[in-house]
Amino acid sequence: MTIEEFQKAIDDTYGARDAERGLQGTFMWLVEEVGELARALRKGEREQIEGEFADVLAWVTTTATLAGVDLGAVAARYAKGCPKCGRLPCECERPREK
């Protein structure tokens, strides 16, 4: 499945409901799902981690659709490597660890 096909499938499945909720409400659901992913990663249970990644991907996708963003088009930013240094793999200076 391509990014474009996934975005269409999510919109076909949830688009009307997401439009009713609006961009801001949908974004808040995305943030909640990211929190659930963080908890799943801490627990380390593979099936739960995969489920939460799927949920986060779906919520990112629906949020992008509501914002009028074509994910296939924006993914092209990374098609040739790092958009900052232009290298593959990235050769940018690494930020300090927190």
Is 48 among the domain residues? yes
Is 45 among the domain residues? yes
- Domain tally, the chain: 1
DSSP structure class, residue 94 = P
Q: What is the reported pLDDT for 71? A: 97
Residues spanned by the domain of 67: 3-78
Is 85 among the domain residues? no
Q: What is the reported pLDDT for 98? A: 67
| Packing angle, helices 3-43 and 46-66, rounded to 10 | 140
Q: Among all chains, which residue has been given the structure tokens 């992008």? A: 64
Is 71 among the domain residues? yes
Omega prior to 89 cis, within 30 of 0: yes
DSSP structure class, residue 91 = -
Tens-digit pLDDT profile for the chain (98 aa)?
Answer: 999 999 999 999 999 999 999 999 999 999 999 999 999 999 999 999 999 999 999 999 999 999 999 999 999 999 999 999 999 999 999 887 76
At 38, which CATH number? Answer: 1.10.287.1080
Is 95 among the domain residues? no
